[in-house]
Amino acid sequence: QVQLVESGGGLVQPGGSLRLSCAASGSILSINAMGWYRQAPGKERELVASISSGGSTNYADSVKGRFTISRDNAKNTVYLQMNSLKPEDTAVYYCNADVRTWTVRYLEVWGQGTLLTVSS
Can you give the pLDDT at residue 97? 97
Q: Does residue 74 sit in helix, strand or coil?
A: helix
Can you give the pLDDT at residue 1? 84
Low-confidence ranges of the chain (pLDDT < 70): none
Q: How far apart (Å, rounded) are the C-alpha atoms in residues 67 and 118?
A: 15
Report the percentage of the chain scoring pLDDT > 70.
100
